[in-house]
């Protein structure tokens, strides 16, 4: 059956890997990102047939409503799979954290869950099918320098579980993936010496690859995962902060 998926933060490291995997899985895929819409990088050319993109600021409900309208005009009435993956970090100890650092992370990483899901969830309820996959983080348990990010990513878990309870009767699942350290741009603000020390603490001895997260998301989006809902699945090489 033809399914359409939207992946927020679709031009980031994990987002692009999910898009690549979803294209292989045979979905129509929409990358929703604050970056200017673009075509897929050259290495994806072989599988780019069903790829689309749209510009959105997921921290803004208004922007997400406009995105839904634009997608409707472009013929995307039914979204079957939502991957709420866009996220940012603005790390700082609480003693030095400014309101903007708090506010921007809560809005991009947590408000986005509601802003995006709300646009498409009624359609899923009507069609009695849906997969909602939200990106949390091991930081949800609390990490130094990340009061903002930890609060947002813990909030993602509460949102995911409440949604699962509400939507199970409609054939809609809601799960969170909770990565450890994944080798993407978002880690670039961590100084090299701290990163080396962190990697030594990972039992698996290395960072995760984005495609490893994408494999998990792909399974949760599949028909075979119909009876898994309300779960938070760690993908962290057995590492916690
Ligand atoms: N990389 C890691 O180690 C790691 C670990 C745990 C969780 N995560 C989470 O995984 C998700 C993806 O992260 P990544 O590692 O691919 O990071 P990334 O920086 O490579 O990608 C993030 C993407 O989100 C987009 N984005 C940022 N603000 C946005 C906004 N307001 N509206 C729409 N799009 C926006 C960016 O343009 C970018 O394309 C994030 O939610 C992140 O918190 C990452």
**pLDDT, mean over the chain:** 96
Mean local confidence (pLDDT), 82-106 = 98
Q: Is 231 a domain residue?
A: yes
The pLDDT of 132-160, averaged and rounded, is: 98
Is residue 86 classed as helix, strand or coil in its secondary structure? coil
- Alpha-carbon distance of 195 to 207, in angstroms, equals 10
User: Is the Cβ–Cβ distance between 241 and 141 less than 8 Å?
Assistant: yes
Which residue range(s) make up the domain with 100?
4-235
With respect to residue 146, please indicate whether it lies within any of the assigned structural domains. Answer: yes
- Is residue 170 among the annotated active site residues? no
33 located within any domain: yes
CA of 88 to the centre of ligand 1 (A): 5
Q: How many Cβ atoms are within 10 Å of 192's Cβ, its own excluded?
A: 7
The answer to whether 55 and 77 are in contact (CB under 8 A) is no
pTM here is 0.98
pLDDT for res 40: 86
Q: What is the mean pLDDT of residues 137-166?
A: 98
Q: What is the pLDDT of residue 72?
A: 98
* Residues in the ligand 1 pocket, defined by CB under 6 Å: 8-9, 11-15, 33-35, 56-59, 85-88, 108, 135, 137, 179, 181-182, 184-187
pLDDT score for 39 = 83
Q: How many CB atoms lie within 10 A of CB 212?
A: 16
In the structure, what pLDDT confidence band is assigned to residue 75 with cuts at 50, 70 and 90?
A: very high
Query: Over pLDDT 90: what percentage of the chain?
Result: 93
Residue 193 belongs to a domain:
yes
Answer whether residue 240 is part of any domain.
Answer: no
Please check whether residue 115 lies inside any domain of the structure: yes
Please report the pLDDT score of residue 209 as a whole number: 98
pLDDT band, residue 38 (cuts 50/70/90): confident
Question: In this structure, is residue 171 part of a structural domain?
Answer: yes
CATH classification at residue 114: 3.40.50.720
Distance, CA of 86 to CA of 18 (rounded, Å): 12
Count of the separate structural domains present in the chain: 1
Whole-number Å distance, alpha carbon 185 to ligand 1 midpoint, is: 8
Alpha-carbon gap, residue 49 to 58, rounded angstroms: 25
**54 falls within a domain:** yes
């Amino acid at each position: 059956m033809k399914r359409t998926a939207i992946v927020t933060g679709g031009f980031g490291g994990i987002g692009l890997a999910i898009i690549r995997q979803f294209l292989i899985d045979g979905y129509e895929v929409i990358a929703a990102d604050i970056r200017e819409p673009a075509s897929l990088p050259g290495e994806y050319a072989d599988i780019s047939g069903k790829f689309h993109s749209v510009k959105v600021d997921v921290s803004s409900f208004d922007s997400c409503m406009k995105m839904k309208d634009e997608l409707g005009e472009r013929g995307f009435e039914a979204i079957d799979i939502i991957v709420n993956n866009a996220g940012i970090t603005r790390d700082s100890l609480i003693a030095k954290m400014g309101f903007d650092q708090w506010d921007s992370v809560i809005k991009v990483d947590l408000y986005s869950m509601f802003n995006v899901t709300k646009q498409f969830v009624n359609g899923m309820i009507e069609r009695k099918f849906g997969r909602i996959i939200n990106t949390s983080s091991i930081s949800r348990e609390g990490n130094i320098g990340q009061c903002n990010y930890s609060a947002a990513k813990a909030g993602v878990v509460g949102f995911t579980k409440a949604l699962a309870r509400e939507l199970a009767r409609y054939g809609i699942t809601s799960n969170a993936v909770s990565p450890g350290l994944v080798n993407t741009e978002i880690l670039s603000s961590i100084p090299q010496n701290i990163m080396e020390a962190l990697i030594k603490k990972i039992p698996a001895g290395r960072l995760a690859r984005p495609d490893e997260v994408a494999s998990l998301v792909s399974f949760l989006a599949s028909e075979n995962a119909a009876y898994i809902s309300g779960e938070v699945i760690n993908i962290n090489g057995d590492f916690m902060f």
